[in-house]
């Protein structure tokens, strides 16, 4: 919007990035009308301020102009103070000269705490980078809509959208810097969550398509645990598959995948470097993958009585995932798991088909110490739901083959008779 004194252009007034709760929106006709009015008032105030300097003999007019300037100043200060964005001005060295309420709400500092100080919301490791930005501003550059890391008074790091502009005096010299920042942490969190979900779905689609390539039971089960423990898969350190033995009402360890020690972890993960999940699964199908590992041997001797109260039996009975921290202090954590697997934090998810739990998968992150999140277990459960039916197909196939062999043997026996 042009700022005019009569027909003479004295400057321009620009407004950018109108926001509502949904983000950037368009200016309305009413906004433009308001801008026309504001530009008109501002033009008058500016021109009158000039007249104030040159026509001091007109006392009555001076007083009138003075109050107009005060009213305009108050109006502008009200706009700034009530802005949800942090609007901060500093001198050319970065020492703060003004700090609005938006800045106080976003960063936690009051104006009294920051005036005359160097940008306290800039993390220490980014101060040099910030000083380089100040040099650009001194050269009359404007830095627009960059994403930057900032720190609140209580030490919390947030992401902001930041615009830095030079403040010029009447001679065109840079006398200060204006910074407008907006907290976009929640927006970034949602974006990252959507990206993560998209990556998980893509990964799930790939894993499911690869695992569907076999009906050989042992290979299928080992594929599942390999997917669970590889970084290209679900990224847990160790995984053990338990299946229910209904005749004895117990859970029996079937297969274990993962390192036996920190040294073993370094060796295994080093040997897997550069190998894709698809390559690993091909090795399993080709019989190249080792099955005589320490964890696999330990897993085969793990037996959990489902008649007793414990984490694993609870998982089977309630058919829901369980996330355990501080296992040694949890009265329901089975001692055999702590003794044999040395774990303090683990998760278990049931394998469910036809409204019945046929087993479970136990996972932990013993070596990386990465905390297992509830969403990790829910994603794992979503993955295994695609595998359980495959397991039954493999079982059915194996059972059919065995039945055909038995029937053939009986027929041959009767023929010989």
User: How far lies 340's CA from each of 18, 89, 299, 321, in Å?
Assistant: 61, 62, 9, 22
pLDDT band at 281 (very low <50, low <70, confident <90, very high): low
Q: pLDDT value at position 253? A: 92
Burial 172-192 (b: 16+ CB within 10 A, else e): eebebbbbbbbbbeeeeeeee
Query: What is the distance of C-alpha 364 from the center of its chain?
Result: 21
Long-range contacts of 151-154 (CB under 8 A, 24+ apart): 151/107, 151/121, 151/122, 151/123, 152/106, 152/107, 152/108, 152/121, 153/107, 153/108, 153/109, 153/113, 153/120, 154/108
**How many residues make up the chain in this entry?**
417
Tokens found for residue 212: 């569907």
CATH superfamily of 210-405: GAF domain (3.30.450.40)
pLDDT band at 215 (very low <50, low <70, confident <90, very high): very low
How far is residue 402's CA from residue 398's CA, in Å, rounded to a whole number? 6
Spell out the long-range contacts of 94-99 with Cβ–Cβ below 8 A and sequence spacing 24 or more.
94/118, 94/119, 94/130, 94/131, 94/134, 94/177, 97/176
With tokens 């799930």, the residue in question is 204
* Beta-carbon contacts of residue 67 (< 8 Å; ≥ 6 apart): none
Q: Which residue has the tokens 């136990």?
A: 362
What is the value of pTM for the model shown? 0.47
Residue 323 has pLDDT above 90, yes or no: yes
pLDDT at 27 over 90: no
Sequence spans of domains, the chain: 1-82, 83-183, 210-405
CB proximity list for 96: less than 8 A, separation 6 or greater:
88, 89, 90, 114, 115, 116, 117, 118, 119
Specify the pLDDT at position 316: 94
Mean pLDDT, range 52-65, rounded to an integer: 67
Rounded Cα gap, residues 372 and 248, in angstroms: 32
pLDDT band for position 313 (cuts 50, 70, 90): very high
Each residue's pLDDT tens digit, 339-368: 898 888 999 999 888 788 889 989 998 888
Do 83-183 and 210-405 share a fold?
A: yes
Greatest CA span in the chain, whole angstroms? 136
State phi, psi for 3 to the nearest 5 degrees: -100, 115
Which CATH code of 3.40.50.1980, 3.30.450.20, 3.65.10.10, 3.40.50.300 fits the domain covering 83-183? 3.30.450.20
pLDDT at 192: 74
- 305 — pLDDT class (breaks 50, 70, 90): very high
């Amino acid at each position: 919007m042009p700022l005019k004194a009569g027909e003479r252009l004295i400057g321009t007034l620009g407004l950018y990035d109108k926001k509502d709760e949904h983000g950037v929106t368009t200016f309305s006709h009413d906004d433009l009308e308001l801008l026309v009015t504001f530009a008109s008032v501002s033009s008058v105030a500016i021109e009158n301020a000039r007249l104030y300097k040159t026509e001091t003999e007109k006392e009555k007019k001076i007083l009138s102009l003075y109050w107009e300037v005060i009213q305009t100043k108050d109006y502008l200060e009200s706009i700034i103070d009530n802005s949800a964005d942090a609007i901060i001005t500093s001198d050319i060295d970065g020492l703060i000269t003004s700090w609005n309420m938006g800045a106080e709400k976003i960063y936690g500092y009051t104006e009294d705490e920051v005036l005359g100080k160097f940008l306290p919301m800039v993390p220490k490791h980014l101060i040099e980078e910030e000083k380089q930005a100040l040099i650009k501003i001194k050269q009359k550059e404007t830095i627009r809509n960059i994403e930057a890391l900032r720190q609140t008074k209580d030490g919390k790091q947030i992401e902001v959208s930041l615009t830095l502009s030079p403040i010029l005096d009447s001679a065109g010299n840079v006398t200060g810097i204006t910074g407008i920042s907006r907290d976009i942490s929640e927006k970034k969190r949602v974006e990252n969550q959507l990206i993560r979900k998209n990556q998980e779905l893509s990964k799930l689609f790939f894993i499911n398509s690869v695992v569907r390539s076999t009906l050989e039971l042992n290979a299928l089960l080992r594929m599942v645990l390999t997917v669970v423990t590889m970084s290209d898969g679900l990224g847990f350190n160790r995984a053990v598959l338990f299946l229910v033995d209904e005749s004895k009402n117990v859970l029996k360890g079937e297969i274990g995948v993962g390192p036996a020690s920190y040294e073993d972890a370094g060796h295994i993960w080093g040997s897997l470097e550069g190998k894709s999940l698809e390559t690993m699964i091909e090795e399993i199908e080709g019989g190249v993958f080792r099955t005589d590992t320490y964890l696999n041997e330990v897993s085969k001797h793990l037996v959990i009585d489902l008649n007793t109260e414990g984490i694993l039996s609870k998982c089977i009975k309630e058919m829901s995932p369980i996330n355990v921290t501080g296992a040694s202090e949890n009265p329901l954590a089975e001692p055999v798991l702590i003794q044999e697997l040395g774990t303090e934090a683990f998760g278990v998810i049931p394998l469910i088909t036809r409204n019945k739990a046929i087993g479970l998968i136990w996972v932990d992150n013993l070596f990386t110490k990465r905390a297992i999140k509830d969403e990790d277990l829910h994603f794992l459960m979503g993955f295994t739901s695609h595998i359980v039916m495959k397991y039954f197909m493999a079982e059915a196939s194996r059972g059919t083959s065995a039945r055909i062999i038995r029937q053939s043997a009986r027929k041959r026996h009767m023929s010989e008779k």
